[in-house]
Every structure is written in C-alpha cells, then in structure tokens.
Structure 1
C-alpha cells in the first residue's frame, strides 16, 4: 500500500512536535546582554554567520556597548572592528547613525515598537522582528533564508518572497509558538536541512511530510 504525503495540517502538527522534541531549549544564537547589543548584533548578522558575529562583537563592545558611547566612536573605528562581518562600510555607518538617533529621539533606549525600529538605519523588517521577539518577547516570526527555504520544502508556503512566507507561517502556527518556533526551524535548517545537505528528499521532516517526493524540491530565493 502506497504511503501518502501528509496533508497540510498533518505536516504542521508533525513539524511542531518533532522540533519540540529536537530543540526543547532555544538559546538565542547571537551573544548579547540587552536590547541594544542584540539590535547591533542582528544588524551585523546580515549576510554573515552568527558564529562570525559572536567572534567580532566582544571587541566592538570594548569600543562601546551602549548608544551614548557608540554615538561618539568614529565610524572608521567601528568599521575596522566589524570588517570581517562583510558590508562593513554600510553597517558601520548604520550602527553610528542609529546610536545617535536612539540618544536624540528615544532617551538612549531601543524602542519596543515595530514601526519605530523599522525607521532606524540598517534595520529592516526581519531585524526589527528579531528584536521584538527576542529582546522584548512580543510574538513575531522573523523569516531568514533558512526559514524561507524550509517552509517551501515542507509545503507551508508558495515561497514567492519572505513577506509571503512570513504571512503563511503566521497563519499556520499558533501565535504563542512563533518566537520559539522560528529559532527551532533555524536550528533544524542548520543541522539537518541545509541548502546543500538536503534537497527536500533527505532529512527526516522532508521525507516524513513527503514520502512520495522523488525529485529535489526547487526553492525560490528570498
């Protein structure tokens, strides 16, 4: 008797259960000590690994670890420290400018507000979502390249773009699970369902959701 591919709700239920078994604890991958250092670390992680960011930030926090001090550090000094993260000219300017804005407009505090965060230099929707969920505990579902790829492989979204993927995932999964689940999916993607390590026909979740899938699942880029 042929094994059937799981229906969408069955896939959702299985994914939630399996990820909870694999990753009951979800430590935040970026080292930080408060909302400001998390904001800067997330900004640095664009097109850079979390591991690399964690190697760089201790030296950056020695220069400054709060908006008042960072606003006084010359941009070229910031850039010299963060160069290994890539895109250092843009990132160093963004860190300097957002620090000045936090001092001048937000009493040196990171705003606990999605719209306000998205107006800061170098802070897009994904970065703002990470800060809202991980620094302040508000339900958010930041979609990075891992999550965008896995959501397509698991048949949870058409994957037209990250905005659509985020909408689809928010509709499918309970709101109270979002913050933990987004980290669980990232951890699973790195460990079992990476871009090269799985093509939609290799890892446990892909093969359980789609036992009849014969060909690699082509995923649309974010």
Structure 2
C-alpha cells in the first residue's frame, strides 16, 4: 500500500470520528490502568459493568488495596480470569504505592514492570491517559492492519513497528482508536462489512463482501 492511500484512509477515519477514544469507562489514569488489566480476554462492555460498581467504592491504589483479594473479587467476579486479575491488580497497587507515590508512571519500563501489564496494556495507558502516539496492537488492529494492507505483519510487534513507521504523524495519536473501532464494528473477524465501509475502495483485501 502506498503512502497516499494510507494517508487517505486515516483522513477518512478522522473525518468520520474526529475525537476517538477508548470504550472503557474511566476518569483517572489509575482507573484506566485497572480497566485495561481487567479487559484481557474480556469485553469492554463486561469490564464497564464491573467497574461501574468497583470505582465508586474504590478508585485509588490505597482504596483497592484496602479491599483485599476477597473484597476485590466480589466486584470483578463476572469477568473472565478474575482470580489472577485480582492478584495482579492488588500487587500493582502495592507497587504504585511503594515506588510511585500512588501515581501511574508515565514511562513504558515502569508500566511494564507492573503485574498484569504487558506491552499492549502499557501502550493503551500511554496513549489514552497520557496522549503518547503509541499503538497497542490487539486482535482488531492486527486483523485490520493485515487485511487492509495498511501494515501487514506476522505478529503484533511487527505490526506495531510498521504502523509507527507508516501512519502519518498527524494521525498517529488517534490511529490506535480508529483501527480498533473499525475492527470492532466494520472489519469484523468472520465477515467484514465491506459494503458499508468508508475505506472499502482503498482497502487491498481480496475477498470483499457486499454487506
């Protein structure tokens, strides 16, 4: 895919949604961090249902730590892998309190040192909470990048590196959200909705549908 075509793709995505953001509900960087940890192998809808109960009761590292493991599990037990997620969140709270003054760090190394936080989660927090031009490659972004030809790659890291090189600078901060939303609602895994896609004529997918 050439540079002009990629630029036009992101121009259209921006025109349709000028201010994209995550569908996870949060009000602080810490709440976002917790929500993203909970979202692994879970839907944003399911996470939001749980955090709507959790955050009014405990929305800081100290408050969640005070709940203890059993207390935290009561709020997140509807989410997959909640046992391991509860342990990771409590350990993350301890580290934030002991090493970072209860604040979410703004650098990748410190974020990735937190339990339950890998590169993808760190990228989401850096991008969404702190406005960094990072791109977290989840299953949606991986699929859209490969299917459209924007930034094909064999694994998430390869796709991330290519996106960071190929997405025009003016679109880089929001590219993460545009691609996720496009994959979630239009470029679906089983059958993409090519007929209602705003970038269908630019996409290089060979098996387009009429939907």
| SS class of match (2:202) | helix
Question: How much has 1:204 moved relative to structure 2?
Answer: 4.5
Larger radius of gyration: 1
Aligned residues: 209
Distance change >3 Å, CA 208–CA 9, structure 1 → 2: same
Contact 1:200/1:207, CA 8 A, preserved across alignment? no
Question: How much has 1:200 moved relative to structure 2?
Answer: 7.4
| SS class of match (2:199) | helix
* 2:110 corresponds to: 116
Q: Deviations over 1:12-58 (max 9, x none)?
A: 02211221122122133111111100100111111111111111102
- 1:191 lines up with 2:185 in the alignment: yes
TM-score, length-scaled by structure 2: 0.91
* 2:175 corresponds to: 181
TM-score, length-scaled by structure 1: 0.86
Contact 1:130/1:140, CA 8 A, preserved across alignment? yes
Gapped regions of structure 1 (runs ≥ 5): 1-6, 217-222
* 2:155 corresponds to: 161
Gapped regions of structure 2 (runs ≥ 5): none
Match of 2:83 among 80, 85, 89: 89
Aligned CA RMSD, in angstroms, stands at 2.1
Report the Cα distance in structure 2 between the residues aligned to 1:176 and 1:102, rounded to whole angstroms: 33
Question: How much has 1:192 moved relative to structure 2?
Answer: 1.1
Report the Cα distance in structure 1 between the residues aligned to 2:159 and 2:64, rounded to whole angstroms: 35
Contact 1:47/1:86, CA 8 A, preserved across alignment? yes
Point out the more displaced range, 20-29 or 89-98: 20-29
* 2:100 corresponds to: 106
